[in-house]
Amino acid sequence: MDRERGKRLSLRGLGRIVAEANAAKDLEEMLRVMVERIHQDMNVDVCSIYLTDARSGRHTLSATVGLRKEAVDQLVLGPKEGLIGWVASQMEPLNIGDCSHHPRFKYIPLVGEEDFNAFLGVPIIFQGALLGVLALQHRNSRPFTEQDVSFAFTLATQLASHIAFAQLTKTVVAPSTGESEGQWLDGVAAAPGIGIGTAVVLYELTAMHTIPDRIVTNTEAEKSAFVRALSAVEKELEVLSESHEGQPPQQRELLEAYSMILTSSELVDAVLESIEAGTWAPAALRTAVEELACKFDVMEDPYLCERGRDIRDLGRRVMDKLLEIEGGDVTYPQDTILVGKDLGPIDLIKVPKDRLRGVISERGSAFSHLAIVARTLGIAAVTGLGDLPLMQLDRREIIADGYRGRLYVNPNVTVCREFRRLAREEQKLSDFLEGFRDKQAITPDGEYVAVLVNAGLPEDLPLALNAGAEGVGLYRTELLFMTQGRFPTEDQQVVLYRRVLEAFHPRPVTFRTLDIGGDKPLPYFPIHETNPFLGWRGIRISLDHPEIFDTQLRALLRASEGFSNPKLLIPMISGVAELYQSLTHVDKVYEELRVEGRQLDKPVIGAMIEVPSAVYQADLFARHVDFLSIGTNDLTQYLLAVDRDNERVAKLFDALHPAVLQAIFHVIQCGERHQLPVTICGEAAGDPAATLLLLGMGAKNLSVNAGDIPKIKWLITKFPRSRAQELLRLALDMESSEAIRELLRNELDEAGFGALVHPGK
Ligand code: PEP
Ligand code: MG
C-alpha cells in the first residue's frame, strides 16, 4: 500500500495534477479538480482548499472532497480562527495526529469532520502573499508521513501560481458594478498620467497562450483562413516526409502521426465549431489545441503523454500560418491602451500617436526603455503586473493609472468619473506649467541651469523641439536603428542626423553613439544572453564591430559639416582602454573624411558615466574628453545591483539611494576640478525630488524627457540654489533613500510644489 502511494506521489503525479488544474475553465473548476486529484493520488480521506481574502484575511472553504459539500462557500473562518487560521497566521505547515487536542482546534458542526483525527495543513503562498490553505485529513490518529508532508508542501508551491492566475482572471472578467472604488491590479508606476481607453493586446507570434479572444461576425472568412493555414502546414509535412525518404522509419512515422493529428476531426471540428459561434480563428485554434493537448498530458502511458507536446508544436505551426493569413495587422481604436507581455519602445512607436492613451506591460519597471519612451510621449504606463489573463483583456475598457501603478478593468461609472476628474486636473497643471516652457531656468539666487531634452525617436522630434529645451542633452541614436528593418546606411544616417542638427541649430545636440544590447535589441541583430545588462552592450558592441561603429561615426561627422552644434557621446565606458579605443576610431574617421576633402571641426566628445568603475575613473577620463554625462539609470542599476527592467526588484531601484547620490556628487565635483561640463541625463534629472539635490550639488546641465521640461524649469526658477545646498547636506547625512525622499517631499510640499509630488491626487 505504501509502495503504491509512493509511486503515485511522484514528480509525474505532481505534474499531472498541475496540468489538469491548469486546463480548468475557471477558478471554481480548478479548485474542484485539484481537491479531487489530490484526494485520489494521496489516498487521503479529506482534501480541502480554503481561500484567503486579501483584504479581510478571512478564509473560505472553497473546495472539498470528504467534508460536507454544503459547507463550500458557506464556511468562512476569521484570520486566526481554528487550525486553518493557525496555519495561515504562522505561514507554515501543521501536521498532527489528533486534531481535537490542539489548543486552536475549533469544532464546526456544519462541515461534518467529527470522524477525522489526523490533520495536515499547508499554506498556499504566492510571491510572499498568502492565498489560502491546503488541508488534508485522515480518520486514523497518526500524523501524516514525512513523504506526505513534503508532497503536499511541493504541491502547494506549484499550485499557488495557478490559483493566483485564476483569481486574477476572475477579477478581470467579472463585470465591475456598484459605486465602490472597483477592482484593480497593482503594478509599477512606470510613466505618470491617466489613460482611459480600449485595451489592444499585442500577442507574440511564438507564444500561443497570448493570442487574445476576439469576437468576429464574418465567420466564413475565418473558417476559410483556418482551412488554408491547415492545408499549408499539411503540405509542408508532406514535403518534409518526402525529403526523409531513406531516413530512419521513426521520423517518417512521426510525420505521418503529425498529419493524422492535423486532420483529426477532434481538432478540426472543435476549431470550426468555435468559429461558427463567433470566435476569431486564432483564438478558436488556441483553445482547441490546448484542450486536445491536455487530454494527452494527463495520460499514464509516457509515450501518449508526450503527444501533448507534439500537438502544441503542430498547433504553433498552424497558428503561424493563420496569423500570416490574417495579416497580423492591428487596428488601433481612437483611445488605445497597448497591452502585452513584454512590450518594448518600438511597440509604442507603431501606434499612431493621436490614438495612444497608455501602455500596460506585464514585465518591466519604471526605468526600462518602454517606460522612458512612454514618458517622452507623455502617456501613462503601468508595468510589472505579473501574469495577466491577456487573452481576456483584448478590447475591454481599461484605465491605466500611471501615478499609482494600477490597472482597472471594466471600470464602473464611479471609477471612470473619478479618473476623468484626475485627467482634467492633470490638464490644468500642464496648462499652468506651459507658462514656464520658454523661460530660462534661473534660480532666485541667480544661477542659470541649462534644461536640455532627451530625444531619439524620429517621431518625437517636433515634441522635443517644442518642449522649450535649450538643446538635446542626449540623443539616443539606437532608437533610430530600432525602427528600421536593417542597419541604416551611412547616407541614410547622415540625412537623419542633419535633420536633428538643423531643427535645433544653434542649440547643441549631443548624439550618443549606438547603445544597443541590454533591453534594446535590434530586431535584425539578435543577441541571446542570460545576463544582457552585464553582457555585450553599448560601446562593447561598437568596438567589436568597427564596420558598424565607423559607419556611424562617419555619418555623424559628415552630418556635422557646416554646423557648430553637434557633440558626440560614448556610452557604457567602463575603463580608460575603451575610451582610448573609441577616441582612436573617432580620430581615424575624422582623418579619413578630411582626406576626402570635407571641412570638419574637431568633434566635441564626451564620455558617459553610468558604470561604477567610471565614477572612480572620472578624473582620468576628464583628461581625454570635452565633457561628461551621468546616466543615472544605468548608474543606479549597476551600483545597487538592481536590474532596471525587473519589476520584482523595482522597489529597490532608487537614484536617491545614498550611494548613488555620493557617486553623482563625486562626478560633478570632478567636473568642477577639471572645469569640464557635466550633464545629468538619466531619469533622475526629471524627478523633482532628485533635481533639488542635483541643484545642491552644483549641476548646471540637466537633460530630461520633453514632458518634464516645464516642471523642472518651474522648480529651478522658484527654488534657491542655497536652499538646495542645505538640503543636500542633510540628505548626505541620511542612511536610506526613504528618509531622503521624505525630506525632499516635505520640502517640495512646503515650498508650494505639492502638485509635483502628489500628481493626480
Ligand atoms: C542612463 O543610463 O541613465 C541613460 C541616460 O541611458 P539609457 O537610459 O539610454 O541607458
Ligand atoms: Mg544608459
Cβ contact 61:75 at 8 Å: yes
Res 72 pLDDT > 90:
yes
Q: What pLDDT is recorded for position 248?
A: 57
Single out the residue of 458, 453, 469 nearest to residue 500, CA to CA: 458
Which residues have CB less than 5 Å away from ligand 2 (the ion)?
610, 631, 634
Q: How does residue 264 score in pLDDT terms, banded at 50, 70 and 90?
A: confident
Last residue of a domain, one of 302, 322, 342: 322
Q: Is residue 214 part of a domain?
A: yes
Same domain, 240 and 349: no
Q: Is residue 174 part of a domain?
A: no
Same domain, 192 and 219: no
Average pLDDT for the chain: 89
Res 653 pLDDT > 60:
yes
List the single range of 319-328, 481-490, 520-529 with lowest mean pLDDT.
Answer: 319-328
Give the 3-state secondary structure of 328-356.
Answer: CCCCCCCCEEEEECCCCHHHHHCCCHHHE
Res 7 pLDDT > 60:
no
Single out the residue of 559, 578, 562 nearest to residue 570, CA to CA: 578
Q: Is residue 489 part of a domain?
A: yes
**Half-sphere exposure of residue 607, counting CA atoms within 13 Å on the CB side?**
30
Cβ contact 382:400 at 8 Å: yes
Task: Tell me the CA distances in angstroms from 579 to 247, 540, 615, 617, 628, one per residue in order.
Answer: 55, 11, 14, 11, 12
Q: What pLDDT is recorded for position 183?
A: 67
Question: What is the per-residue pLDDT across 89-102, written as a single tens digit (0 to 9) for each?
Answer: 999 999 999 998 89
Q: What pLDDT is recorded for position 575?
A: 97
Q: Mean of the pLDDT values across residues 440-452?
A: 97
Q: How does residue 630 score in pLDDT terms, banded at 50, 70 and 90?
A: very high
Cβ contact 511:477 at 8 Å: yes
For residue 544, report the distance from its CA to the centre of ligand 1, in Å: 21
Cβ contact 626:604 at 8 Å: yes
Active site residue 209: no
Q: Is residue 538 part of a domain?
A: yes
Res 509 pLDDT > 60:
yes
Same domain, 751 and 679: yes
Last residue of a domain, one of 386, 411, 436: 411
Same domain, 39 and 123: yes
Active site residue 369: yes
Owning domain of residue 525: 450-603
Q: Is residue 421 part of a domain?
A: no
The tally of domains found in the chain comes to: 5
Concatenate the DSSP letters of all residues of 501-541 into one string: HHHHTTS-EEEEP---BTTB-BTTB----SSGGGSS-THHH
Nearest CA to ligand 1 atom 3: 631
Ligand 1 atom nearest to 703, measured from its CA: 5
Same domain, 562 and 582: yes
Question: Is the CB–ligand 1 distance for residue 478 below 6 Å?
Answer: no
Same domain, 54 and 159: yes
Question: Is the CB–ligand 1 distance for residue 631 below 6 Å?
Answer: yes
Q: Is residue 491 part of a domain?
A: yes
Same domain, 217 and 165: no
Same domain, 305 and 346: no
Q: Is residue 344 part of a domain?
A: yes
**Three-point CA angle 206, 210, 211, nearest 5°:** 90
Same domain, 228 and 300: yes
Last residue of a domain, one of 603, 619, 638: 603
Same domain, 599 and 616: no
Q: Which of 138, 162, 369, 585 is catalytic?
A: 369
The domain that contains 124 carries what CATH number? 3.30.450.40
Q: What pLDDT is recorded for position 447?
A: 96
The domain that contains 301 carries what CATH number? 1.10.274.10
Same domain, 104 and 9: yes
Same domain, 95 and 12: yes
Cβ contact 542:553 at 8 Å: no
Question: Is the CB–ligand 1 distance for residue 634 below 6 Å?
Answer: yes
The domain that contains 358 carries what CATH number? 3.50.30.10
**Three-point CA angle 297, 298, 299, nearest 5°:** 95
Cβ neighbours for 394, distance < 8 A, ≥ 6 positions apart: 199, 200, 201, 212, 213, 214, 339
Q: Is residue 430 part of a domain?
A: no
Question: Is the CB–ligand 1 distance for residue 394 below 6 Å?
Answer: no
Measured CA to CA, the distance from residue 487 to residue 548 in angstroms comes to 8
